[in-house]
Amino acid sequence: MKTGILYGISVGTGDPELITVKGLRLLQQSPVIAFPAGVNGKLGMAQQIIAPWLQPEQEQLPLTFPYVRDMSVLTQAWIAAAEAVWQYLQNGKDVAFACEGDISFYSTFTYLAQTLQALHPELKVELVPGVTSPMAAASVLGCPLTIRQEKLAILPAIYTIAELATVLDWADVVVLMKVSSVYPKVWKLLQQRGLLPNSSIVVRATLPDMITYKNLSDRQNLELPYFSILIVQITNRNN
């Protein structure tokens, strides 16, 4: 029997309509739909995004990826997820893995695919790119993320304030992907640099309960959820 294909499908940032036409076609053609399982009894983000597109006959396969940094715990989780997916692939069924944002951009899918390909080098994996949160946030703000020769820096969840200071010296636009845990320190640095009026935050971009803050000058004490993205425009665009 022919092995199934593993599709890594970017489903975008929240609005179900931000999946690509290709992603939707492959999602709807696949008999098995995998996604990161939600935590604390809630649906996972990718699972919520694709809910309107799924058919009752499609099998749903939630995969557990613990939010820890212990490599042995993570590796065990990836192997367990790979084995669950392989049960379908080896029986000739295609599996579509739904990933919030873009599949190549800080995605859990990377580890699942690498684990599967290490165990089964013949496996065919096909990736469908998608809409990332910096692009969604810029669209929502109605303000370009980058223009002309602007240099863009994107920093993920964990970073130090010293790193941010270095990047502010180098880049024209800086995006902090998940800013909630370090926001008070970031706010102070942006204040010192006089950058608060040019800084914006988008919470849950493109979801119905989205919130936007277009100027952070009076926003020292924001309580931000996990899906909060901060954009700092450093260089004056009027020159």
Binding site for its own copies (CB under 8 A): 8, 10, 12-13, 15-22, 24-25, 102-107, 110, 125, 127-132, 135-136, 138-140, 142-159, 163, 166-167, 170-171, 206
Q: With respect to its own copies, which residue has the nearer C-beta, 37 or 125?
A: 125
Q: How far is the CB of 234 from its own copies (least distance, A)?
A: 14
Q: How far is the CB of 225 from its own copies (least distance, A)?
A: 20
The DSSP symbol for 93 reads -
Q: CB–CB of 34/95 below 8 Å?
A: yes
Q: Output the CA–CA distances (angstroms, integers) from residue 178 to 127, 147, 229, in the order listed.
A: 24, 23, 6
Q: With respect to its own copies, which residue has the nearer C-beta, 176 or 216?
A: 176
Q: How far is the CB of 77 from its own copies (least distance, A)?
A: 15
d(CA 92, CA 29): 14
Q: Give the sign of the dihedral formed by CA 153, CA 158, CA 159, CA 161.
A: positive
Q: With respect to its own copies, which residue has the nearer C-beta, 110 or 191?
A: 110
d(CA 129, CA 26): 12
Q: How far is the CB of 55 from its own copies (least distance, A)?
A: 16
Q: With respect to its own copies, which residue has the nearer C-beta, 171 or 216?
A: 171
**Other CB atoms closer than 10 Å to residue 234's CB: what's the count?**
20
